[in-house]
Amino acid sequence: MKSWGIIIVIATGFGLGMAVPRLAVEMQILTGKPAAGSAIAVKAVNTQDSMKVEDFWANTELEISDLNQYVNNIQCHDNKKSFLACINSVLFALQKTNQHLQFDGTIAANSRRENKLDNYNEKQNLAQFINLYSDGLSKRFNFDLLWKSILASSKPESRKHILALGINGYLSIQMDPHTYISPTDYFKQVSSNNERSKYFLGLSFEKKMQRIFIRKVFKNSDADQAGLKNNDEVVSISGQKVEDMNLSDVSALLKDKNQKTFPFLVKRGDATFVKKLNRSYRVLSQVQSEVINNGNKIGYIQLSKFAYNICENVREEIEKMKPSSLNGLVLDLRDNPGGLLTEAACLAGLFIGENKKIFTVKYTDGNEEEVALTTAEQVYFGPMVILTNNSSASASELIAGAMQEYNRATIVGERTFGKGSFQEIERYNESSKISLFRTQGFYLLPSGETTQLKGVMPDVALDDDNAIMSEFDLYQFPLQFKADKKSTVTHNLMYKKSNRPSNCGSNTVKNFSEDKFIASAQQVLGCEIALSAKSDDKEQNINL
């Protein structure tokens, strides 16, 4: 049996260093010790802000031979899945080179208006190539020559990064979307670091209908101070039009760390105006909180990542609010990609108490399941709402799903992303400088139900008008979980869903927030449908 307490486990929304970003680079570690035989130091060190991921790759031993063990013209034509894996390998790499793959098997200079590839959607990118193998047209693609062309046209300092993109594109198809390689130093110095960079401007983007929109503005960030808002359409940044760019290009515009001011030309409704974003070089906390006083005194906590010591930070914020005086609490997990599962287990305890079953680990190799318990004393007993959206993933799904199953909170928002797998770290090809993050199993909700692909369904469903994002939508071969009969029966017997009463249509709270998710949470709390642990936690707790 594997020992859950000594294995470094990655249970993140997504992998890193790829052209298809996995929501965020969020590393989840379940221990303060490295795995036996591992050279990886778990303790986060200061981020090297001056280095990009390709700089970390340049310091590794990655060579073309590493790619060729997967992507070579013989293996690529073995079967349809191998062909698609090799196509995906090329597509991942080309998004770094301003080129695109044509249907005749050649590579051409990238024309922005003609290149429809979206570096957030693997499934969409492969759709135009999916039938070539069945139609007998795959032989026109010589992958040895394609990769020779890609490397010949790339900058020397980027070649190892491009090789890594190619390997990760291949692994996403042949293994699963969450198995990938990464520079070991990148993981230690950047990905596992729990603090945001001082260069973080506080906004994320999405592409809809070939246009660029602001998906989220983080509270108290530079973007927030500039007056940018969710769903603003971006026309240009610093005078550069973004209409023909993909999302990585837009992100690249903001990576000049010496530039302090970024004029944004945005459309909001029928109005077009300029908002000047000034970089402040301050570190934005992962926890933002406030007390909303408009009819009812409601605590609001926005948690953007389950980083180290987050549980303690949230406890402190709750205590500052004087929890006994609150009429309700809103925990905002929208766009939260996950983080440390130890922190998630601790956080759950703040609302349901210690030693409660919070999740179970199920290995795919048949090893015995492991149970994780909550680790913190309960500090808040009142009504509670958790906000989720399509980008709430991994550990945030565990919290939302567990609180729903314990009938401890009402979930308001969208179905969560549906990432319920975890990865463990291995050396890649015996190299201490490259780590392989391999999927080893799934974590399950207290009832035994999985979040994998399914996500967590809200009690009160809303739509945030953003593009639908789920593992099933994004990846050609999403990772499947096969539940056994015992888990299904247990789930059906133990899972209880709170019902929304009919009187919730009345506005019991005045002056709702402009954010319709928060406004709905206020209304739900005003209707008192979120269950209070004061009266229910003893009866509703799920037995181990």
pLDDT at residue number 466? 64
pLDDT at residue number 486? 53
421: β partners: 442
Render 418-458 in DSSP notation, one character per residue. Answer: ---EEEEEEEETTEEEEEEEEEEEEEE-TTS-B-TTT----
- Nearest of 464, 524, 518 to residue 499 by alpha carbon: 524
| Sequence letter at residue 258 | N
Q: Are 304 and 218 in contact (CB under 8 A)?
A: yes
Taking the CA of residue 231 as centre, how many other CA atoms within 13 Å lie in the half-sphere pointing to its CB?
A: 10
When pLDDT is averaged across residues 277-285 and rounded to a whole number, the result is 88
Q: Are 462 and 517 in contact (CB under 8 A)?
A: yes
- Nearest of 173, 187, 179, 232 to residue 205 by alpha carbon: 232
Whole-number Å distance between alpha carbons of 68 and 75: 10
Domains and CATH numbers, the chain: 45-191 (no CATH), 203-278 (2.30.42.10), 287-422+440-540 (3.90.226.10)
Claim: this prediction has a pTM higher than 0.85: no
pLDDT at 532 > cutoff 90: no
| Sequence letter at residue 26 | E
pLDDT at residue number 193? 55
* CB atoms inside a 10 Å sphere around CB 225: 13
pLDDT at residue number 186? 84
206: β partners: 213
Whole-number Å distance between alpha carbons of 499 and 504: 11
When pLDDT is averaged across residues 251-257 and rounded to a whole number, the result is 81
Whole-number Å distance between alpha carbons of 73 and 86: 9
State phi, psi for 288 to the nearest 5 degrees: -120, 135
Crossing angle for the helix pair 533-540 and 341-352, nearest 10 degrees? 110
State phi, psi for 262 to the nearest 5 degrees: -130, 100
Q: Determine the longest span between alpha carbons in the chain, in angstroms.
A: 70
Q: Are 360 and 369 in contact (CB under 8 A)?
A: yes
When pLDDT is averaged across residues 226-235 and rounded to a whole number, the result is 93
When pLDDT is averaged across residues 325-330 and rounded to a whole number, the result is 94
Q: Are 358 and 47 in contact (CB under 8 A)?
A: no
Whole-number Å distance between alpha carbons of 332 and 139: 50
pLDDT at residue number 99? 85
pLDDT at 100 > cutoff 60: yes
Could you report the per-residue pLDDT of 236-251, keeping only the tens digit for each? 999 999 887 777 778 8
Whole-number Å distance between alpha carbons of 527 and 501: 8
- Nearest of 467, 439, 347 to residue 400 by alpha carbon: 347
Could you report the per-residue pLDDT of 343-373, keeping only the tens digit for each? 999 999 999 999 999 999 999 887 778 999 9
pLDDT at residue number 236? 95
Task: Please report which helix (H) or strand (E) contains residue 122, including its range.
Answer: helix 122-127
User: Residue 126 has which token pair?
Assistant: 């492969």
Could you report the per-residue pLDDT of 211-230, keeping only the tens digit for each? 899 988 888 899 999 999 98
pLDDT at residue number 197? 76
